[in-house]
Amino acid sequence: MSKKKQSKSGGLLGRIIRRFFLLLFTIIILLVVGLALVMNLVFNGPSPAARDVLTMSLLEPSATKWIPGLFMSQELVDQIKNKGENEAPVEDVNLDDIVIMDSASMAASADFAATVKNLGGDAENPFAVFAESREVFAERREALKEWAAKQAAVEKSWRAEHKELARKLDDFLSGKLPEIDYKSIEMKADVATRAASATVLGVFAEKIDNMIVASADLSNSDKTDGYLKKTKAFTKGDFSGKFFQAGVSELTMACVANGMALHGGVIPVCGTFFVFSDYMKPAVRLSALMRLHVVYVWTHDSFRVGEDGPTHIFHN
């Protein structure tokens, strides 16, 4: 036999063997899954309520088929239990009368009802507000109405005395932005994107009065210092600047930015390495869910920042 024919014969035999083992492996998996299902039924079985009903022999075998893991609606169970000895069997029972309810769910439902009852509530109407609570809320509502009226009077007086500042505040709260001629911004060729960002941030510092930029101790690296160079950082007792030095605390920085965005009238910006966005994820997720206007400046999206140690390595 030639080498070519031997090669073809060997290849065919190899494919047959591989397919045999693949089939064998599939059969084993199916057997394991089937055994697991059977063991679950043997050891767990139907819910306690279902076993009670079956033990009482109140359900006619021909009425419906029993499905493990399901138990009948309370209305149907009561109907079966209350059936007299000489009455006709319950008929027209179908799967639509069966609801999914395992023992764990039943226990959780019972725990909830007991908790509501122990708190003095009505398990049938668990979200009803207590009369005492209504009184407290009513008193607080009146107090807040009085406070709001006083604040409105203070604001009215302030607006009359500071018309220009009042106009600027309205612009801030409305989200209105000044006109910026981006084509006039001079950008060096072939610069890093973070350097280009710094140039634009410098323009924003001069044009946008209500933008507050923050950096997690990396302003000189993520180049948010392009903004800082045109303003100054907050210090104790002096908030005339527009830069927040958050320190090595990315999560805190992101949370503060969310708070500023929720307050309104401020455009918060967070800057750090992209790898450190891992530490910010809870706050970033909330920001996305609430659709907040928070700007994230994430730089250094390269694996090479891992040279600085394990805290700089991406975690997927």
H-run or E-run covering 9: helix 3-43
Q: Which long-range contacts (CB under 8 A, 24 or more apart) does 135-141 make?
A: none
Pairing of strands 98-100, 70-72: antiparallel
d(CA 258, CA 287) in angstroms, rounded, equals 6
Find the catalytic residue in 91, 135, 250, 307: 250
Pairing of strands 211-215, 267-273: parallel
Specify whether the CB–CB gap between 81 and 58 falls below 8 A: yes
Cβ burial of 31 (10 Å; 0-12, 13-18, 19+) is exposed
Q: CA torsion angle for 238, 240, 246, 252 (degrees, to 10)?
A: 90
Residues 6+ apart with CB under 8 A from 64: 93, 94, 95, 97, 98
Specify whether the CB–CB gap between 197 and 223 falls below 8 A: yes
d(CA 256, CA 202) in angstroms, rounded, equals 22
Token pair, residue 163, equals: 């018309």
Using DSSP, how many helices (H) and how many strands (E) does the chain show?
A: 10, 6
d(CA 11, CA 18) in angstroms, rounded, equals 11
**Is 250 among the catalytic positions?**
yes
92: alpha, beta or left, given left = phi > 0 and alpha = psi -120 to 50? left
Q: What are phi and psi of 287, to 5 degrees?
A: -60, -40
**Is 235 strand, coil or helix?**
strand
Instruction: Please list the active-site residues.
Output: 250
